[in-house]
Structure 1
Amino acid sequence: MKLGFLSFFSTFLFFVFLSFSAAKHNTPLSRRSSKRQLHSRAEPESQAFDATSRSVYSDHSADSRLEKRDGTKYVFMHHVFHSFKGCLELSSDLYTDTYEYTHDSWLNDFDQIRAKDIDAVALNVGRDTWQSARVQDAYSAAAMVGMSVFISFDYTSFDCNIETTVNWVNAYKGLPGQFKINGRPMISSYSGDCLGPDGWQTIRDQTGGFLMPFIYGNDDQQLKKGSSYGFFDSWYCWGCAWPQGNYNKTTDDDHYYMNILESRYATTISPWMFTHYDSKNFYLRGDDWLLITRWEQLISMRDQLTFVEMVTWNDYGESDYFGTGPSSANSQPSGTTWTDGFPHNGFFDLSAYYITYFKTGVYPRITKDTVYFWLRPHPASINAKNDPLPKPEGWDWTSDTLWAAAFCSSTCNVTLRVGSYSQDFDNLPYGVNKISLPLKALGNVTVKMSKNGQEVINHIPSHFQYQEYTDHYNYNAYVGSATTLS
């Protein structure tokens, strides 16, 4: 009994040490910096964009296959622990995401994430003392449901200290929920150039970890094998998930980094990006079915990729969440006016098709007819009535369009309507059909599908309308879906 008590007490003291060491340094409290220019490879300055409604058909046979590649493919989900609104005083209303999380909260998240065949969850941790308890809960819950997790150190907040980082990794790497590659615990980061090559090498040596950080601000050539950061096992491009200007997302940045890192390159995918605080106020272009287009790009590069990270599960302050949205006002930063009533789980649901496709190289069979759709709540050019902040940078990079994807199990007809304006899309073939509708009228959204003269979907969201006025600017997306019952 004495030995058992001493073991428990020693473990307790160690986690107290982790909490203290994460808070003892004077790291500035700030929200994560703008993700605009976090990779150096420039994309095209402009591309022609046709804002008229159009349909792009993709008739994929269930037996279609991509070239197989030796080795397993992994898909991760990035789970944010906190964000700040640039304030220096610690209080619970500044936190987002996991401040009020319980063990059951983690179980709920992991059940949803695991259901989509995601391999592991990256736990984005910062400097605050309460976060070590959340990490312990996350590891415990992960083990209960068969989920894997790994720590992603957010060095814009977390103590940039080698010893602290090593202690955190070694404290958790032996737990059942730890994600490993060939027996080595995965270690990731957002930022981390502050550690330098010697610091990262020490972390690798003292933990036996598999390094997959995202560091930026250095010469990219330092990531080459034989160069100062060439010992990284992998490196992922955070900013490659979005176009960095008024043009569609391309793979130019991916191929730029592939030429440097070769098979060690990893990358990201995200459905949206909009934030509207006094400390950062911008929108990144999400038009032309950004999420689906990005999945198609990743699949086209799957013979060069091993790791893909979905960004994020719950960063409500930047609108790039795959979940349903914040459960309460306390689960998002104060001053966030653009997420309540804006679910994104439709983005997550449609991703299941592409996750399977990316990991296996085989198109999954579509057996249930579903239409996913998304749009912003107001025209891009209007002026908000009561917003103390100006329009976000990039507001004119988006068209007023309803975007949709019809997953058809056989030939189908779809009608999209907003207010009094509608368009029919007839004889859509089996597969994923990308369709869109210019927003020429105001009012309710209606989505219909018919087959063989029978209506099988007739859906009107009950809590959303496209309107020509707003108190506060909102360039977030409302995401809905409608599915046949049969």
Structure 2
Amino acid sequence: MKLTGSLLAVGLSVLYGACQVQAAAVFAHFIVGNAPNYNLDTWRRDMQLAQDAHIDAFAMNVATGDASIYNSLALAFDAARLQNFKLFLSFDYLGGSAGPWGKGQVLDLASTYFARGEYLKYNGKPLASTFEGADQAGDWVDIKRQTGCFFLPDWSSRGARGALDLQGGVADGLFAWTAWPWGNRDMDSNTDASYDEALRGQNKPYMMAVSPWFYTNLPGWSKNWLWRGDDLWTDRWNQIIEHQPEFVEIITWNDYGESSHISPLYDNAMGLFNYGKAPFNYAQDMPHDGWRQFLPFLIDTYKGARPAITKEGLTSWYRTSPAAACSDGGTPGNTASQMQLEFSAAQVSQDRVFYSALLASDAQVEVTIGGRTQAGSWKHRPDGGVGVYHGGVEFGGRTGDVVIRVFRGGSTIAQINGRSVSPDNCRNGLTNWNAWVGSAMSSASIPAAAAPGTPAKQPFRWNDGDVPQYCVEGHSSGDGRLDGLCRWSCGLGFCPIHACTCTRQGTSQPSAPGWVNVPATGADGVSDFGLCDFACHHGNCPGDVCRRL
């Protein structure tokens, strides 16, 4: 079920086979309610860090019942003007203490910010998003009429087709809050495929979500669960580069309460641990800055570049105590609150040290824990040997100081002297299911001639006028069991590149048979890359290859 393609898959077609020009913009979800103590310099620092990471804008999550957001927004937009950065509003319909947003409240904020130069525009229209709010979809008919905004909501609770049908198709595109895998599985892109299939029929854009981690324990808000992080940051960027969605949103920039942040840690932004009655501050001393280190390479690759690597580097992340060393805090993997089957946390979050390296050529990696060294291996290698490598090793019962080293020919390229793995790292006798993240870059630069690249297209290239190309014929690219499905699906425009080879393209989108509600995945031992879900939803569900869900 896991999509494991290369992180250097440049110039690939859209997963469904359409070689069309994409918006190629990357946003980061910013929780405005965590920033009441920001000053102008703090805002500018965060924006500069986002620009350094090649992030194009912040999606400003705002919830009702928090008066601080109004001052924060005013300061943020002033900082964005000075920083030449873009912002847009994302209305949180579930997180507000005063309930969902009212239409008048939305219009008030729109009148204040939509016309500002720092506000992100899509084809000249101010972009607006949501976190849920499907029950208030009718409000947006009038909001769009009055403001002329481009509306890209997250209505994941309704699914792609249900969301598109709301209020006669009021959504101009869709964002799916689908950034974490289910249970003890690794991340797949089946949900993304369903959104692509639904949206392309209406020529509407898709915003794909990516997140590095998720753990929350805020009983004051009835929140205590985790979803698997582990290899997620690498797997999901693989899927994004292969999928080529119109937009990408990183979840999140600064949600410390859900351990999904990639921003710096600010002591004066941690009030939610008090408000949410957390048993301890599980973000404290657990930096995530290292997850930004390779974003320029990943984002530029997504935008159609073959970025030059002028310096090699290493990023690593892991939990700092073995799962069995402390109480799990009652934290399950998955959550019944979202109607999921729950697992023990230890079944979902693995006792492993994970690492990624940005390399100009293959290299070796080793991990030392408590003075005992283990040779590592690469789970993912980039095409052509240039790009992001990824792997991990088990704790293996070892505790103590952690050192991760990547080297070539006996010479160290980069080394991380990480935080120790120890039962002493428990807080109040509880496991911290958050991740510690470290990073290091090589001291030596790579000559440009040895690291050739082509520049990324400029962001927001929405009007290039390129003619879309759709796959109309193809076959299996390897696994013979998938050949029949590839020939059938590629003929309908769905030709996933890691399963099938498109042999002929056309400029007209093929028509698919009628939709039926038959979700599916590959049968045991079959990696289908979304083929079964597509085919079974269109009435072709071979039982020897596909398993209905």
Normalised by the length of structure 2, the TM-score is 0.69
- Structure-2 residue corresponding to 1:66: 12
> What letter is aligned with 1:343?
P
1:92-241 matches, cutoff 5 A: 97-127=34-64, 128-156=66-94, 157=96, 159-196=100-137, 198-218=138-158, 220-224=160-164, 228-238=167-177, 240-241=178-179
Give percent identity, aligned residues only.
27
Query: Do 1:236 and 1:266's aligned partners in 2 also have CA atoms closer than 8 Å?
Result: yes
Alignment partner of 1:467 is 2:406: no
> Deviations along 1:292-339, whole A, 9 cap, x unmatched?
11011011111xx21110010100000000112233474542135211
Whole-Å Cα distance in 1 between the matches of residues 360 and 213 of structure 2? 27
- Structure-1 residue corresponding to 2:301: 357
Shift in alpha-carbon separation, 1:448–1:328, aligned structure 2, 3 A:
same
Shift in alpha-carbon separation, 1:66–1:465, aligned structure 2, 3 A:
same
1:308-387 matches, cutoff 5 A: 308-328=248-268, 330-334=270-274, 335=278, 336-359=280-303, 361-384=304-327
- Structure-2 residue corresponding to 1:478: 436
Match of 2:405 among 436, 444, 448: 448
> Deviations along 1:427-483, whole A, 9 cap, x unmatched?
98543221211102001111223333333434313xx21013522221111011122
Query: Do 1:222 and 1:230's aligned partners in 2 also have CA atoms closer than 8 Å?
Result: no
Alignment partner of 1:286 is 2:229: yes
In the TM superposition, residue 60 of structure 1 has moved relative to its aligned partner by: 5.3
Shift in alpha-carbon separation, 1:346–1:281, aligned structure 2, 3 A:
same
Shift in alpha-carbon separation, 1:415–1:179, aligned structure 2, 3 A:
same
In the TM superposition, residue 207 of structure 1 has moved relative to its aligned partner by: 0.8
- Structure-1 residue corresponding to 2:193: 255
Whole-Å Cα distance in 2 between the matches of residues 187 and 233 of structure 1? 10
Runs of 5+ consecutive residues of structure 1 not aligned to the other structure = 1-43, 48-55, 83-96
> Deviations along 1:246-273, whole A, 9 cap, x unmatched?
2111011111122222243222100000
- Count of paired positions: 405
Whole-Å Cα distance in 2 between the matches of residues 217 and 414 of structure 1? 42
3-state DSSP class of the match of 2:266? coil
> Deviations along 1:72-126, whole A, 9 cap, x unmatched?
31111110022xxxxxxxxxxxxxx202111111111101101222221111111
Aligned CA-pair RMSD:
2.4
Alignment partner of 1:244 is 2:182: yes
Shift in alpha-carbon separation, 1:332–1:105, aligned structure 2, 3 A:
farther
> What letter is aligned with 1:344?
H
In the TM superposition, residue 212 of structure 1 has moved relative to its aligned partner by: 0.8
Runs of 5+ consecutive residues of structure 2 not aligned to the other structure = 14-18, 334-342, 445-549
> What letter is aligned with 1:120?
A
Alignment partner of 1:407 is 2:358: yes
> Deviations along 1:347-375, whole A, 9 cap, x unmatched?
1122221111111x223122212111110
Query: Do 1:391 and 1:473's aligned partners in 2 also have CA atoms closer than 8 Å?
Result: no
